Chain A
Amino acid sequence: MSVGILLCLVILLPLIGGLFVLNAKDAVVSNAKNARHTALLTVFSNILLILFLFSHFQSAENQTLGLIDISFALTNKIEFIFGADLFALVFVFGVQIAVFVGILGVKKEVQSQKGVLFFALCYLCLTNGYFFARDICSFYICFCGQLFPLYMLICFANSEIQNTKLFYLFAHYFIGAALLFASFVLIMHTKQGDVLIEKISSVHFSHQKSIYIWGGIFLALMLRMPVWPFYHALTSVSVKLTNPLALIALNFLPLSGVYALTRYWPLDIPVEIELLSPIFQILCIVTMLVAAFGGLIYSNTAQKIHHYIFVYDLLYLLAVFLPTDVIRMNIAYSVFSFLLMGACLIVLQSHMQTQSLKTGLALKGILCHMPKASLCYFLFVLAAIGLPVSAFFWNNFLIVSEIFNYHLYAGTAVIFAMTLAAVSLLEGAYELKTQTCLPQTQIKIKDIDIFSFCVCVLIMSVLLVSVVRPLWFVF
Chain B
Amino acid sequence: MIENILYTLSESSLIASVIGVLMSALFSQEGKKTCFKIAEAGILVSAFFALLFYNKTFLEGFFTASWQTTLTYCLCALFAVCWLWLSSKWFVKQDASSTRFCILALLLMFLLSLIIKTTNVLVLFFCLALFGLTQYALLKTSTSSEGLYHYAVKYLFSALVCLVFWGCALYFLSTGSYDYGTLAAFVQTQSSFKAAWIVLSLFCCMLFFIGAAPFHFWYADAVSASDLPVGSYFALVPNIAFWSVFLSLYDKVFMPFAQNLKPIFVVFGCLSIVLGAIGANATRFIRKIFSFVYLYQLGVALLVLSTFRAQSAFATYIYMEVYLFLMIGVYVCLFGMRLNGEHINNLSFLKGYAFMRPYVSATLVFYILSLTGLPPFIGFISQFFMLFNVYQSLWLLYLILAGFLMLLPAYFRIIQTIYFFKKGYHFDRVEFGLYIALIVHIVFVSVLAVKPNFFMIQASLF
Contact = CB atoms under 8 A, between A and B. Distances in A.
A155 B397 CA distance: 31
A432 to B, nearest CB: 32
A167 B409 contact: yes
B375 A76 contact: no
- Give the contact-size bracket for chain B: 20 to 34
A188 interface: yes
Contacts of B459: 75
Interface stretch (B209-217, B398-406, B438-446): B398-406
Name the prevailing secondary structure of the A interface residues: helix
Interface stretch (A42-50, A141-149, A251-259, A406-414): A141-149
Contacts of B375: 140-141, 144-145
Nearest to A74: B452
B419 A155 contact: yes
B420 A159 contact: yes
Contact of A182 (B369, B380, B397): B397
A335 B398 CA distance: 34
Interface in A157-192: 159, 163, 167, 170-171, 174-175, 178-179, 181-182, 185-186, 188-189
Given A78-B462, A148-B374, A182 B398 contact: yes
B175 interface: no
B462 A76 contact: yes
A204 interface: no
A265 interface: no
B157 interface: no
Contact of A188 (B388, B408, B419): B388
Contacts of B143: none
Contact of A145 (B374, B404, B462): B374
Nearest to B401: A178
Interface string A275-312: 00000000000000000000000000000000000000
Interface in B391-421: 391, 394, 397-398, 401-402, 404-405, 408-409, 412, 415-416, 419-421
A189 B388 contact: yes
Contacts of B94: none
Contacts of A115: 419
Contact of A174 (B381, B405, B451, B462): B405
B452 A185 contact: no
Contacts of A140: 375
A189 B387 CA distance: 11
A178 B405 contact: yes
B259 interface: no
Nearest to B362: A22
A170 B398 CA distance: 18
Contacts of B374: 144-145, 147-148
B347 to A, nearest CB: 14
Nearest to A216: B398
A189 B376 contact: no
B460 interface: yes
A360 B409 CA distance: 38
B453 interface: yes
A175 B405 contact: yes
B1 interface: no
Given A75-B460, A159-B420, A182 B409 contact: no
A75 B419 CA distance: 35
Contact of A185 (B384, B402, B408, B416): B384
A151 interface: yes
A179 B397 CA distance: 10
B418 to A, nearest CB: 11
B461 interface: yes
A77 interface: yes
Contacts of B461: 76
Contact of B376 (A78, A145, A171, A179): A145
B397 A185 contact: yes
Contacts of B453: 75
A226 to B, nearest CB: 20
Contacts of A152: 415, 419
A186 B398 CA distance: 12
A167 B409 CA distance: 8
19 contacts: A74-B381, A75-B452, A76-B460, A140-B375, A147-B374, A148-B369, A152-B419, A155-B416, A155-B420, A156-B419, A159-B421, A167-B409, A170-B408, A178-B405, A182-B397, A182-B401, A185-B384, A186-B391, A189-B388
Given A75-B459, A152-B415, A182-B394, 13 more contacts: A76-B460, A76-B461, A77-B462, A140-B375, A144-B375, A145-B376, A148-B369, A151-B412, A155-B419, A155-B420, A170-B412, A188-B388, A189-B391
> Top 10 nearest A-B pairs by Cβ distance?
A141-B375, A178-B401, A159-B420, A189-B391, A75-B459, A155-B420, A141-B376, A75-B462, A145-B375, A144-B375
